[in-house]
Amino acid sequence: MTAPLLEVDDLHVRFPVAGTGLTGRGKRLLHAVNGVSFSLAKGECLSIVGESGCGKSTAALSIMGLQEPTEGEIRFRGRPMTGPSAPTRMERAKAVQIVFQDPYASLNPRQTVWRSLADPLRLHGITAKSESADRIAALMRSVGLTPEQAGRFPHEFSGGQRQRIGIARALILEPEIVVLDEPVSALDVSIRAQIINLLLDLQDQFGLSYLMISHDLSVVEHMSDRVMVMYFGQLVETGSWQQIFASPAHPYTRRLIAAIPDPAHFGRISAEPFIDAPNMFAPPAASDLTEIAPGHFIRRTALEGAARA
């Protein structure tokens, strides 16, 4: 394995939540992300899975620089991305980009596709008309559209085409990491496979590293090299996709895998009921992950819990 491109070290994100009543007493801190550490290698696709509200999107926002972490450090090529020496928005732009879930809300309805792609180029010093035209045309072809279509407005495209444009915008500055925030869950089932294959092709073509956030486990299984399972702000299990899908160890992961509506998986993993909802305002301290197989880690408290059950 090569040196990690992105390292996340003990990331905590807490949000103040206003209390109730006229005086707003009882202000509390919601622990959205609670001690998450991981690394992402060049050319790797790492998925974060978990239920809504488990903190996976918040973790991604911190990496994007859209949400300042409360604690912890994020490093890109060894350089801190947080704290006083954090890079500016401009410097960060060439490192990490994002593809959003909703292709309808992710494109400015008042700008042509051309402008959405040319403006960032101009901002980053590519001012020559011919060069930006070449790059936009090449990128439009890479995502399966024609260069001529760049002159249109977003509402002239279908959902799948819009998602392709969203991907093109994420790649226009040639970033090294692309965060995929539920990249296909808003799309028709018939379009999903196309977009997934496009993402895999682009990963090979540009040597991209993907950090994918999803709760669609069939997509995760298809795309990921490694999978991290998050539950109530903590990582509960992490391993290669084979380890997670073939031998899930944490009871929550087992429940997730057992819930995939796919005949191939049906009945393969027996899942015992798992009810362990920690208090999000005062969660238990994060314990260490235990390695149960090479590269396959599981949270210890859960092991004990599983043993008890």
Positions in the binding site for another protein (CB under 8 A): 64-66, 88-93, 96-98, 100-102, 104-111, 116, 119-120, 123-124, 155, 166, 169-170, 172-173
Residue 221 has phi, psi (to 5 degrees) of: -60, -35
- Which residues, in sequence order, are CB contacts of 271 under 8 Å at separation 6+? 251, 254, 255, 257, 258, 259
Nearer to another protein, 178 or 236 (CB): 178
Q: How near is the Cβ of 67 to another protein at its closest, in Å?
A: 11
When the beta carbons of 140 and 249 are compared against another protein, the nearer one is: 140
The minimum distance between CB 85 and another protein, in angstroms, equals 18
Task: Output the smallest distance, CB 156 to another protein, in A.
Answer: 9
In the complex with another protein, the residue whose CB is nearer, 109 or 263, is 109
Minimal distance in Å, beta carbon 266 to another protein?
Answer: 35
CB nearer another protein, residue 172 or residue 230:
172
Identity of the residue, 166 or 251, whose beta carbon is nearer to another protein in the bound complex: 166
Q: How far is the CB of 152 from another protein (least distance, A)?
A: 13
Name the minimum Å distance from CB 196 to another protein. 20
- When the beta carbons of 3 and 123 are compared against another protein, the nearer one is 123
